[in-house]
Every structure is written in C-alpha cells, then in structure tokens.
Amino acid sequence: MTQSFELTERCRSEVGDALRIAAVYTETGFEHLYLREDLDRQYTPAEIETLRRELIVFALGKQQLADVTHAGKVRQIICEMDDAIALQFPVAGHFGVFVSIEASARDSLFDLGDAVEAWIEQGGLPTWEDS
C-alpha cells in the first residue's frame, strides 16, 4: 500500500529508528502500517486489540474536550509514558491515526505531529466507507 509506505517514511524521516508503531484504526479494525520488529514480538494480538479499543475511547472524548476548552477541534492527543510517547490523530468518529515513538525522540515530537497531519490532510487515509 503506497499510503502506508508514505506515512511510515514521513515518520521515520522525523524520528528515525525511534518510531515504534504507525497505524490506522477504525471501530472494528487496527491496521499496522509499521510495527518495529522488536515490538512485533512483544505484543500479543489481544494487547493490540485492547490498544485499539482504548484509542477509540480517547477519540470519542475529544469533542467534549474541544467543547470545554473553547480552543477549536482536537488535532492530536499526546500521551507520555516512561519509555514511549504515543500520538493519536482522531480524524472522525471511530477512526484515526496512531503513532508511537521512543521517549528519547521527544525533541522531534512536534515535527512528527506536523508530518502526520500533513499526510492526513493530503488524503493519506483510506476511504473508510469502502473498507
């Protein structure tokens, strides 16, 4: 899939080997566009499914956050953990883009976010109705 390759390349150009995961998700699916080899062995399918469900919960709460802050629509949700930083880009309803990087790549966080947003705006996401 050319779209998958392009998003992965944009992310890797910003953070290199610190890229952990790049994925798109829907209400019922989670497609890895990139999953670093060491993580592929670390996560079980059940854990990936749990991650997908949690992403949807975060995404559904974005409208409430936008309403309360009066600062416009939510473009990114960033979660920082000890060893990783997760960026979620809720696009609409139950779908969006999820990217995870090593915490050591923090300095590239906003450049990475800009790269993913540009990919989305340029039509990188598949047409979900056709999926």
Distance CA 18, CA 25 (A): 21
Q: Select the more confidently predicted residue: 53 or 36.
A: 36
Q: Output the pLDDT for position 63.
A: 60
Share of the chain above pLDDT 90, in %: 29
Task: Report how far residue 68's alpha carbon sits from residue 87's, in angstroms, rounded to the nearest whole number.
Answer: 21
* pLDDT of amino acid 29: 75
Label residues 42-53 b or e (16+ Cβ within 10 Å = b): eeeeeeeeebbe
Stronger pLDDT, 5 or 38, i.e. the higher one: 38
What value does the mean pLDDT of the chain take? Answer: 81
How confident is the model over 72-118, as pLDDT tens digits? 777 788 888 899 998 989 887 677 898 999 999 999 999 999 999 99
